[in-house]
């Protein structure tokens, strides 16, 4: 039996405040969300049950379940939902309600590092060094590519290219195919020596100010370089 | 991540002068315009390809248009008959289970359980190569392939474009590359 007096629904109220179009009460409990959600059943939950917990004011369960980290905020459920409910957005808000010290430490750390420059935490100088080192190696060893370029901080280049931090950090040779493609096409492009990472893990910790901070830094950097296009590589 | 920037600029109304685009759209445009010349002649073995539509780029980003561009590029590079469609696909595709911070969050068993749907979906295509144009997808698809004992190769798209490049003779002296 549901104890109606016990319904506090503080979490629901907070979400509705943050996301005026959350439409939580629109749920028909049809289950279309569940049918296409690979996270269904994990931690005993699925998108529909998750929304029920919210509606029924089971705030403690909502704030404690780690299902919010098995839901990848992929929005497949929103795509299927006849009422347009965005459960991914709700999960995002709930992630943000967790105190930082209770969040998955590696995820929070990825965002904290991101706010300094990039998600793996390698120094910007190392990025520049790796790019130049790999470039030099290709130019020396592959005669057909002796004029290959990988410009950094080239003022006024038409295209700005970001670089997922995984490559310079663990698989630098994976940067080369794209350089070759850009070379053949002949576009005028550049990396930046700061805010160069293509990822942004602050999208997943639940703090909008962190997410906005990183995007703002990237935008300022690209505008300062005067690039017309920002190419995202993933 | 495409969505992180796209939605970040939009939601937080961040001023910017540049236009934000995806490399996938550009590959397709450059091939169509003849600026990027590729051929599938290298694929004499008839290696079969399929693709992982990244949620952040497709469903949450540019929609089915970019998913179609992605298929166009793969078919140009690997050969029209060597692409095997995955089901469901495009905006209706399942998440790989590695996104949303799942690879960083550390709930490994849950992450692999999530990835089982993706594994079954990809294994059903029988493809030799799975193209993953997103780093999270790449890491997760590689991991579930090895965990559930699949036998495909998980790669980025650029490796195959490089392989398929039709080069003018750039090695001769005096010729501008």
Q: Is residue A104 part of a domain?
A: no
A136 and A179, same domain (yes or no): yes
Among A53, A83, A98, identify where a domain stops: A98
User: Nearest CA to CA, how far is A129 from chain B (Å)?
Assistant: 22
CATH code, A14: 1.10.1060.10
A39 in any annotated domain: yes
* In chain B, residues 7-46 whose CB comes closer than 8 Å to chain A: 8-9, 11-12, 14-23, 26-27, 30, 35-37
Residue B170 within a domain: no
| pLDDT at residue number A8 | 72
Q: Could you tell me if A34 and A130 lie in one domain?
A: no
Cis, peptide link before residue B88, omega less than 30° from 0: yes
Separation of alpha carbons B177 and B174, rounded Å: 9
> How far does A200 lie from chain B, in Å, by closest CA?
6
Find the closest chain B residue to A165 by CA distance.
Answer: B135
Cβ distance of B18 and A231 shorter than 8 Å: no
Mean pLDDT score across all residues of chain B: 95
B169 in any annotated domain: no
Nearest residue in B to A232, CA atom: B22
Q: Are residues A70 and A137 in the same domain?
A: no
Asked if residue A211 and residue A148 are part of one domain, the reply reads yes
Regarding whether A139 and A94 lie in a shared domain, the answer is no
Residues in chain B closer than 8 A to A106 (CB atoms): 104-106
Residue B174 scores a pLDDT above 60:
no
Q: Of B59, B102, B161, which is closest to A75 when you measure between CB atoms?
A: B59
- Which helix or strand (DSSP H or E) is residue B20 part of? strand B19-22
All residues of chain B having their beta carbon less than 8 Å from the beta carbon of residue A234 are 1-2, 23, 54, 56-57, 133-135
Residue B16 included in any domain:
yes
On whether residue A129 sits in a domain, the answer given is: yes
The model's pTM: 0.95
- pLDDT score at B175: 42
Distance CA A182, CA B158 (A): 11
Residue B150 maps to a domain: yes
Q: What is the chain B residue with the closest CA to A174?
A: B159
Q: Cβ contact (<8 Å) for A104 and B36?
A: no
Is B176 contained in some domain?
no
pLDDT tens digit string along B30-72? 999 999 999 999 999 999 999 999 999 999 999 999 999 999 9
Name residues 58-97 of chain B within 8 A of A (Cβ). Answer: 59-60, 88, 91-95, 97
Choose among B164, B171, B93, B162: nearest CA to B134.
Answer: B93
Report the residue of chain A nearest B26, measured CA to CA: A231
Do A81 and A167 lie in one domain? The reply is no
In a domain, A111, yes or no: no
Residue B172 lies in a domain: no
Asked whether the predicted pLDDT for residue B173 surpasses 60, the reply is no
A121: contact with B, CB 8 A cutoff: no
Q: Is residue A177 included in any domain, yes or no?
A: yes
Measured CA to CA, the distance from residue A185 to residue B155 in angstroms comes to 22
Could you give the count of Cα atoms lying within 13 Å of A163 in the half-sphere of its Cβ? 34
Q: Are A223 and B17 in contact (CB < 8 Å)?
A: yes
Instruction: Look at chain B and report how many structural domains it folds into.
Output: 1
Could you give the CA distance from residue B90 to residue B68 in angstroms, rounded to a whole number?
A: 8
B135, part of any domain: yes
Q: pLDDT, tens digit, for every residue of A82-137?
A: 999 999 999 999 999 999 999 999 999 999 999 999 999 999 999 999 999 999 99
Do A70 and A126 have their domain in common? Answer: no
pLDDT in tens, A167-226: 999 999 999 999 999 999 999 999 999 999 989 999 999 999 999 999 999 999 999 999
Choose, out of A20, A175, A184, the residue to mutate when testing the contact with B (most B CBs < 10 Å): A184
pLDDT at A2: 65
Chain B contact present for A186, CB below 8 A: yes
Work out how many domains chain A is built from and give that number. 2
A 32-71 residues inside an 8 A Cβ radius of B? 36, 38-39, 41-43, 66, 69-71
CB contact under 8 A, A70 and B102: yes
Confidence of residue A234 (pLDDT cuts 50, 70, 90): confident
Interchain proximity B19–A229, CB inside 8 Å = yes
Extract the tokens encoding B127.
């493809």
Q: Is residue B104 classed as helix, strand or coil in its secondary structure? A: helix
A189-190/A159-161 β-pairing: parallel
Residue B177 confidence class, pLDDT cut points 50, 70, 90: very low
Q: Which domain holds residue B79?
A: 2-164
Tokens encoding B114 = 């999530």
Q: Is residue B173 part of a domain?
A: no
- The span from the CA of B164 to the CA of A125, in Å, is 33
- The percentage of residues in chain B with a pLDDT greater than 70, rounded to a whole number, is 95
Indicate whether A103 belongs to any domain: no
What pLDDT sits at residue A74?
A: 97
Residue whose entry in the numeric block shows the structure tokens 């399929």: B50
Say if residue A76 is in the same domain as residue A143: no
Give the separation between CA A21 and CA A1, rounded to whole angstroms.
30
Sheet bearing B19-22, strands edge to edge: A189-190, A159-161, A229-232, B19-22
- Give me the pLDDT at residue B170, please: 54
Identify whether A88 is part of a domain: yes
Average pLDDT score, chain A: 95
Q: Which two tokens stand for residue A125?
A: 């100088």
Residues spanned by the domain of A93: 4-98
Residues A11 and A88 in one domain: yes
Ramachandran assignment for B13, one of left (phi > 0), alpha (psi -120 to 50 degrees), beta (any other)? left
SS3 sequence, chain A? CCCHHHCCCHHHHHHHHHCCCCCHHHCCCCCHHHHCCCCCCHHHCCHHHHHHHHHCCCHHHHHHCHHHHCCCCCCHHHHHCCCCCCHHHHHHHHHHHCCHHHCCHHHHHHHHHHCCCCCCCCCHHHHHHHHHHHHHHHHHHCHHHCCCCCCECCCCCCEEECECCHHHHHCHHHHHHHHHHHHHHCCCEEECCCCCECCCHHHCCCCHHHHHHHHHHHHHHHHHHCCCEEEECC
pLDDT tens for each residue of B69-117: 999 999 999 999 999 999 999 999 999 999 999 999 999 999 999 999 9
Based on the domain organization, do A93 and A26 belong to the same domain? yes
């Amino acid at each position: 039996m549901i104890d109606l007096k016990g319904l506090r629904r503080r979490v629901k109220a907070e979400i509705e405040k943050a996301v005026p179009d959350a439409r939580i009460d629109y749920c028909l409990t049809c289950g279309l969300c569940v049918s296409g959600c690979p996270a269904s059943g994990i931690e005993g939950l699925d998108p529909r049950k998750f929304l029920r917990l919210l509606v029924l004011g089971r705030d403690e369960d909502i704030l404690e379940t780690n299902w919010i980290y098995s839901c990848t905020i992929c929005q497949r459920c929103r795509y299927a939902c006849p009422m347009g409910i965005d459960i991914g957005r709700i999960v995002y808000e709930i992630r943000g309600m967790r105190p930082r010290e209770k969040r998955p430490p590696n995820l929070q750390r990825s965002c904290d590092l991101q706010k300094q420059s990039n998600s793996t935490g390698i120094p910007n100088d190392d990025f520049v060094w790796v790019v130049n080192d790999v470039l030099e190696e290709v130019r020396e060893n592959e005669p057909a590519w002796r004029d290959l370029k990988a410009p950094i901080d080239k003022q006024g280049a038409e295209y700005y290219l970001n670089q997922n931090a995984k490559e310079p950090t663990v698989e630098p040779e994976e940067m080369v195919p794209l350089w070759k493609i850009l070379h053949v096409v002949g576009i005028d492009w550049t990396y930046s020596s700061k805010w160069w990472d293509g990822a942004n893990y602050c999208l997943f910790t639940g703090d909008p100010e962190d997410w906005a901070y990183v995007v703002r830094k990237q935008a300022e950097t690209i505008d300062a370089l005067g690039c017309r296009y920002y190419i995202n590589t993933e | 991540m495409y969505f992180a920037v796209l939605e970040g600029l939009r939601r937080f109304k961040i001023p910017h002068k540049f236009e934000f685009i995806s490399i996938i759209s550009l590959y397709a445009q450059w091939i169509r315009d003849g600026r990027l010349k590729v051929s599938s002649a290298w694929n004499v073995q008839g290696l079969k390809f399929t693709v992982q539509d990244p949620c952040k780029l497709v469903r949450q980003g540019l929609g089915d248009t970019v998913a179609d561009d992605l298929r166009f590029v793969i078919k140009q590079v690997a050969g029209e008959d060597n692409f095997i469609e995955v089901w469901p696909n495009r905006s209706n595709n399942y998440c790989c289970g590695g996104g949303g911070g799942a690879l960083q969050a550390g709930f490994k068993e849950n992450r692999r359980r999530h990835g089982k749907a993706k594994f079954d979906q990809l294994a059903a295509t029988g493809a030799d190569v799975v193209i993953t144009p997103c780093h999270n997808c790449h890491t997760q698809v590689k991991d579930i392939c090895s965990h559930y004992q699949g036998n495909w190769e998980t790669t980025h798209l650029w490796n195959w474009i490089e392989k398929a490049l039709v080069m003018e003779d750039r090695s001769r002296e005096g010729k501008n590359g």
